[in-house]
Amino acid sequence: MGSKASSLVAQAKQWATYYGDYTTGPEGAALTIALRFRALWEDNDAEGITDLFVENGSLLLGDEQLKGHGEIHAYLTAAFNAGFRGTKLIEEVADVRLLSPDVAMVITTGGLAAKDATSVPEGNSSRTMWVVVKRDGDWWLASYQSSPLKG
Protein backbone atom coordinates (compact mmCIF):
# COMPACT_ATOMS: atom_id res chain seq x y z
CA MET A 1 0.00 0.00 0.00
CA GLY A 2 1.36 3.42 -0.94
CA SER A 3 2.00 6.13 1.64
CA LYS A 4 -1.03 8.18 0.58
CA ALA A 5 -3.33 5.15 0.80
CA SER A 6 -1.96 4.14 4.20
CA SER A 7 -2.40 7.71 5.43
CA LEU A 8 -6.04 7.68 4.31
CA VAL A 9 -6.61 4.33 6.04
CA ALA A 10 -5.06 5.70 9.25
CA GLN A 11 -7.29 8.78 9.07
CA ALA A 12 -10.40 6.65 8.50
CA LYS A 13 -9.52 4.47 11.51
CA GLN A 14 -9.03 7.59 13.63
CA TRP A 15 -12.38 9.07 12.55
CA ALA A 16 -14.11 5.76 13.24
CA THR A 17 -12.99 6.01 16.89
CA TYR A 18 -14.82 9.34 17.21
CA TYR A 19 -18.14 7.51 16.93
CA GLY A 20 -17.50 5.47 20.09
CA ASP A 21 -20.44 3.11 20.64
CA TYR A 22 -22.58 4.92 18.05
CA THR A 23 -21.20 3.73 14.72
CA THR A 24 -24.51 2.79 13.11
CA GLY A 25 -28.20 3.60 13.13
CA PRO A 26 -29.92 6.91 13.75
CA GLU A 27 -27.69 7.70 16.75
CA GLY A 28 -24.61 7.49 14.53
CA ALA A 29 -26.32 9.64 11.90
CA ALA A 30 -27.21 12.29 14.50
CA LEU A 31 -23.63 12.24 15.79
CA THR A 32 -22.28 13.27 12.39
CA ILE A 33 -23.27 16.87 13.21
CA ALA A 34 -20.72 16.99 16.07
CA LEU A 35 -18.06 15.39 13.90
CA ARG A 36 -18.65 17.79 11.02
CA PHE A 37 -18.67 20.73 13.47
CA ARG A 38 -15.29 19.62 14.82
CA ALA A 39 -13.76 19.30 11.34
CA LEU A 40 -15.09 22.71 10.29
CA TRP A 41 -13.77 24.26 13.53
CA GLU A 42 -10.29 22.94 12.79
CA ASP A 43 -10.53 24.62 9.36
CA ASN A 44 -11.69 27.88 11.03
CA ASP A 45 -14.75 27.71 8.74
CA ALA A 46 -17.31 30.07 10.29
CA GLU A 47 -19.63 29.79 7.29
CA GLY A 48 -19.54 25.99 7.28
CA ILE A 49 -20.36 25.81 10.99
CA THR A 50 -23.15 28.34 10.61
CA ASP A 51 -24.62 26.25 7.80
CA LEU A 52 -24.93 23.25 10.17
CA PHE A 53 -27.51 25.18 12.21
CA VAL A 54 -31.20 25.50 11.51
CA GLU A 55 -32.04 29.11 10.61
CA ASN A 56 -33.10 30.02 14.18
CA GLY A 57 -30.42 27.86 15.83
CA SER A 58 -28.76 28.72 19.12
CA LEU A 59 -25.07 28.70 20.07
CA LEU A 60 -24.03 29.17 23.71
CA LEU A 61 -20.27 29.38 23.83
CA GLY A 62 -18.63 30.73 26.96
CA ASP A 63 -20.71 33.71 28.01
CA GLU A 64 -22.01 34.36 24.50
CA GLN A 65 -25.60 33.37 23.66
CA LEU A 66 -26.04 33.65 19.92
CA LYS A 67 -29.28 33.21 18.03
CA GLY A 68 -29.72 32.69 14.31
CA HIS A 69 -27.32 32.44 11.43
CA GLY A 70 -26.35 36.13 11.44
CA GLU A 71 -25.19 36.27 15.06
CA ILE A 72 -23.50 32.86 14.92
CA HIS A 73 -21.61 33.66 11.72
CA ALA A 74 -20.48 37.11 12.92
CA TYR A 75 -19.22 35.76 16.24
CA LEU A 76 -17.35 32.81 14.72
CA THR A 77 -15.81 34.92 11.96
CA ALA A 78 -14.40 37.33 14.56
CA ALA A 79 -13.31 34.48 16.85
CA PHE A 80 -11.48 32.61 14.07
CA ASN A 81 -9.66 35.83 13.21
CA ALA A 82 -8.55 36.18 16.84
CA GLY A 83 -8.28 33.79 19.79
CA PHE A 84 -9.79 30.67 18.20
CA ARG A 85 -7.49 30.72 15.15
CA GLY A 86 -5.33 27.61 15.13
CA THR A 87 -7.41 25.70 17.65
CA LYS A 88 -9.31 22.45 17.48
CA LEU A 89 -11.95 20.66 19.50
CA ILE A 90 -10.92 17.43 21.18
CA GLU A 91 -14.03 15.60 22.30
CA GLU A 92 -15.30 12.20 23.26
CA VAL A 93 -18.90 11.11 22.94
CA ALA A 94 -20.51 10.61 26.34
CA ASP A 95 -24.06 9.88 25.19
CA VAL A 96 -26.39 9.98 22.20
CA ARG A 97 -30.14 9.72 22.78
CA LEU A 98 -32.99 9.81 20.34
CA LEU A 99 -35.72 11.92 21.93
CA SER A 100 -37.99 11.22 18.97
CA PRO A 101 -37.36 9.90 15.45
CA ASP A 102 -36.44 13.45 14.39
CA VAL A 103 -34.74 14.87 17.51
CA ALA A 104 -31.55 13.70 19.20
CA MET A 105 -29.37 14.87 22.04
CA VAL A 106 -25.61 14.35 21.83
CA ILE A 107 -23.38 14.94 24.85
CA THR A 108 -19.61 15.24 24.45
CA THR A 109 -16.78 15.98 26.84
CA GLY A 110 -13.46 17.51 25.91
CA GLY A 111 -12.50 21.04 25.10
CA LEU A 112 -10.50 23.51 23.10
CA ALA A 113 -6.82 22.88 22.36
CA ALA A 114 -4.04 24.05 20.10
CA LYS A 115 -4.17 22.50 16.64
CA ASP A 116 -1.14 20.27 17.28
CA ALA A 117 -2.25 19.15 20.77
CA THR A 118 -3.30 15.60 21.56
CA SER A 119 -5.21 16.46 24.73
CA VAL A 120 -7.19 19.30 26.26
CA PRO A 121 -5.06 21.56 28.47
CA GLU A 122 -5.83 21.41 32.18
CA GLY A 123 -8.56 23.90 33.01
CA ASN A 124 -10.02 23.96 29.47
CA SER A 125 -12.31 20.94 29.81
CA SER A 126 -15.95 21.31 28.93
CA ARG A 127 -19.14 19.35 28.39
CA THR A 128 -21.23 20.12 25.35
CA MET A 129 -24.86 19.34 24.65
CA TRP A 130 -25.94 19.23 21.03
CA VAL A 131 -29.62 19.17 20.11
CA VAL A 132 -29.99 17.97 16.54
CA VAL A 133 -33.12 17.76 14.44
CA LYS A 134 -33.89 15.80 11.31
CA ARG A 135 -35.48 17.78 8.48
CA ASP A 136 -36.06 16.44 4.98
CA GLY A 137 -33.88 13.43 5.76
CA ASP A 138 -30.83 15.37 6.99
CA TRP A 139 -29.65 16.19 10.51
CA TRP A 140 -29.21 19.84 11.51
CA LEU A 141 -27.97 21.55 14.64
CA ALA A 142 -30.71 23.29 16.61
CA SER A 143 -28.72 24.10 19.75
CA TYR A 144 -25.12 23.89 20.90
CA GLN A 145 -24.31 24.61 24.54
CA SER A 146 -20.81 24.27 25.93
CA SER A 147 -20.16 24.54 29.66
CA PRO A 148 -16.78 24.49 31.41
CA LEU A 149 -16.05 21.60 33.74
CA LYS A 150 -14.63 22.44 37.12
CA GLY A 151 -12.32 20.04 38.76
Q: What is the pLDDT of residue 14?
A: 53
The confidence band for 82, taking pLDDT boundaries of 50, 70 and 90, is: very high
Q: Which amino acid is at 25?
A: G
Mean pLDDT calculated for residue range 95-124: 92
**Which own/partner pairs from 80-86 qualify as long-range (CB within 8 Å, at least 24 positions apart)?**
80/44, 80/45, 80/46, 84/41, 84/44, 84/112, 85/44, 86/44, 86/114, 86/115
Is it true that domain 3-148 has CATH number 3.10.450.50?
yes
Statement: residue 59 has pLDDT above 60: yes
Higher-scoring residue by pLDDT: 54, 29: 54
Closest CA to 113 of 105, 102, 121: 121
Q: What is the pLDDT of residue 31?
A: 87
Closest CA to 124 of 66, 68, 74, 62: 62
Q: Structural domain boundaries of the chain?
A: 3-148
State the average pLDDT for the chain: 86
The confidence band for 8, taking pLDDT boundaries of 50, 70 and 90, is: very low
Give 21-53 pLDDT, tens digit per residue: 655 678 888 888 998 899 899 999 999 999 999
CB 30 within 8 A of CB 98: yes
Closest CA to 131 of 47, 53, 24: 53
What's the CA gap between 40 and 32, in Å, rounded? 12
Q: What is the pLDDT of residue 150?
A: 78
Q: What is the pLDDT of residue 20?
A: 62
